[in-house]
Structure 1
């Protein structure tokens, strides 16, 4: 079969891959956009949009149960999980339709199917409707994302196992949800389903939750979850899983106290994600992979094959939608406007949508110490922030890491109400290279949560090594 020649081929339609092919087509290029699944990628279909929609439902249930604390009597609160699911589905459909409506662009050709490389600049697409098409282009961009990591525990192939996608399709509330994994995904779903009304147990192999965070942050998050009635087990290793005679799930773990058995109605595996690369046959193109299986790229997102690029989660590193969008910014500059832009020195913020929200940007205290930096630390409990007191949202704290010599802000963590929004204010100060004293002395509107930044940065001082 003769190759169909394009100026560019984009494989995948996640946050970055959604916009780049449109821009290339508007620039007069003939572009093939290949997608094997629903348009919009993980964020729209199984990630940000659906999970944060469900988080909102869970928070509302939690707040309703707290009504008496505010003098509001609501009566018994129950959750209709099927209705939550339908609201989630509607949000996803709306976001997907919004993207699909933009694809009517001259020069852009949507090809629905699974792509695999047959050479450095050639791919064959197994069409969803049957048959194949052979495509070639001097520029190919891989944006195939990741999927839940398979669980490798004895017996896991014989039990009903949920992942971060299938758990959102449940129509009935689990009686007792066991979650493997104490990372961002596991904690968001754990608190969500606890607030829906399930009993929840989180099982984590590491000594503490959220291992990328400082010890004090991890400890506070664990305390918040336990305060809401979630059982948190750390330093335990799943050994085997089996189905009981009455159809429940029994998980056996090994920990400091020896062997322990946990029984529940449902088991969620949230142990991480792996790149979608196997179907691509990257070796056929000479594309090198990292030891972790992710695609290796340089500072300009180019792979080991000139003219072939990778963007988003499939290249490894922090798996955030906004980082994928910044990859789009880099490739847009290099492939559309002809600039030379790299991904070096970018400040990457993120938020974990537990409640209170965890927002972080830049270095942690641990990272700064590991680099041997002379630092100052600012710390302020949310219970000292007037707005948090007034709204009854006093859990958590703010923390900032400061370069002792330059007074530049190296990083910050905000675990508190709207923690991500407050963190973003600090990020802007970092982008502007403001000294921390500028925030300590700034006038913030009273009584906003941001007003707490005065107290945070006024509290900056030396810390013990």
Structure 2
């Protein structure tokens, strides 16, 4: 057996934290290995943000083409070429992935394509993809960025349905034909993005949501506004609904039995089922116990890795970054985890960087987008005494830009501290909602009071100009 390979630093997983971290460590003079079992770039580049937003762009093109007559532009005979849509997605993913690989190798990182598992606190067993050889790798410090994967649906009868009819957020992106009727399990971010995409491309879509609202993290008024938009787009949404059984029938490839909160049942026929009801961390293959790494409690499946605000695990010299440590599971949070590790271990930041009080923005890429940063109203009301916060809400139809572009659906909402005038949270459900949110995020980062946004001279008629008017609804 070959002698163990020793490195100063080993990174497990090449996600949005692991890839730049491996390069930074190598450039800092550490001998560094990056272990990846699938492809460089992680979920974001290969199955997440990059491909899904590429597909969503095709969906919006179809949507605008069908709305052409609203603007005086007539485009008869619109057709959808799924093979072309898929190839465009593949080409962009390939370009992004190739760039990540080149930068990583150029930095001097030793890339090991294979699956890693711990043997002890400093030792990893790596089963290489090529040839199936297993090698032993040791390291002074180990960084885990192994991510998450789609959760498998727990449905009675699922084994009776052809496997190609059951989709997850990865496999659905490889379809070369439109589903006739896509049934979506889950009314969260992933379910709604894919549901609206395929509705715009021409599929019938039904969303099954266990909770009493779509987008459960959002305030109820924002979720209700989003639900209205989805239904306007022709999507059927069932709330308070639990999928219990699936089976094929002579009339339909799948028939889903759904139980509602009131005790009634309904059968829903469809051509394909998309499971979009959560993700699970890739911890089950790492043999964390051999390294003494603690996880968060989860009796129902693989658990996330526990860590402190500096991203240190319970085992000295082992760090965790990205989705595998638990929510919030966003690409930009994973990249910020990299920034924290780089600052503390390479740049020796003083005081040390931590995740404490990190301002977390996100965008749901439905159309219109839902951009949010900071506290939601329901969160702020739990943290502050009565009367300590004020809330402003305004329909997007009050924005000049929305009227001019005929994109009036949605709303804006801000939560502020009544005493200090600091902005605590902001939501924009509207066209370019993510960009408007980012403007407010900048103000929050700089401690700018809401009055400064009200009184600012914004370019007319930019979307940000609506920040002049929102505060007139503060109460």
TM-score (norm 1): 0.98
What is the CA-CA distance between 1:175 and the residue it aligns to?
A: 0.5
Partner of 2:34, secondary structure, is strand
Deviates more, 1:263-272 or 1:253-262: 253-262
Partner of 1:6, secondary structure, is strand
User: Are 1:349 and 1:361, in contact at CA under 8 Å, matched by a contact in 2?
Assistant: yes
User: Are 1:29 and 1:107, in contact at CA under 8 Å, matched by a contact in 2?
Assistant: no
Q: Deviations over 1:362-381 (max 9, x none)?
A: 00000011113411011111
Partner of 1:294, secondary structure, is coil
Partner residue of 1:199? 204
2:238 matches 1:226? no
2:323 matches 1:318? no
Partner residue of 2:285? 279
Partner residue of 2:142? 140
Partner residue of 1:407? 421
Partner residue of 1:453? 467
User: Are 1:26 and 1:105, in contact at CA under 8 Å, matched by a contact in 2?
Assistant: no
Correspondence list, 1:345-356, <5 A? 345-356=357-368
Return the alpha-carbon distance in structure 2 between the equivalents of residues 176 and 257 of structure 1. Answer: 25
Deviates more, 1:81-90 or 1:100-109: 100-109
Q: Deviations over 1:261-304 (max 9, x none)?
A: 00001110001000001111101111011013100010000100
What is the CA-CA distance between 1:245 and the residue it aligns to?
A: 2.5
What is the CA-CA distance between 1:158 and the residue it aligns to?
A: 2.7
What is the CA-CA distance between 1:257 and the residue it aligns to?
A: 5.8
Partner of 2:285, secondary structure, is helix
Partner of 1:401, secondary structure, is strand
Partner residue of 2:194? 189
Moved over 3 A (4+): none
Runs of 5+ unmatched residues, structure 1: none
Partner residue of 2:348? 338
Return the alpha-carbon distance in structure 2 between the equivalents of residues 150 and 282 of structure 1. Answer: 22
Return the alpha-carbon distance in structure 1 between the equivalents of residues 190 and 404 of structure 2. Answer: 30
Return the alpha-carbon distance in structure 2 between the equivalents of residues 288 and 331 of structure 1. Answer: 19
Partner residue of 1:117? 118
Return the alpha-carbon distance in structure 1 between the equivalents of residues 210 and 150 of structure 2. Answer: 17
Partner residue of 1:177? 182
What is the CA-CA distance between 1:106 and the residue it aligns to?
A: 5.7
Deviates more, 1:372-381 or 1:24-33: 372-381
What is the CA-CA distance between 1:100 and the residue it aligns to?
A: 1.0
Return the alpha-carbon distance in structure 1 between the equivalents of residues 288 and 420 of structure 2. Answer: 46
2:306 matches 1:296? yes
Return the alpha-carbon distance in structure 1 between the equivalents of residues 279 and 102 of structure 2. Answer: 30
Partner residue of 2:433? 419
Correspondence list, 1:434-453, <5 A? 434-453=448-467
Return the alpha-carbon distance in structure 2 between the equivalents of residues 198 and 121 of structure 1. Answer: 51
TM-score (norm 2): 0.96
Return the alpha-carbon distance in structure 1 between the equivalents of residues 219 and 424 of structure 2. Answer: 14
User: Are 1:376 and 1:460, in contact at CA under 8 Å, matched by a contact in 2?
Assistant: yes
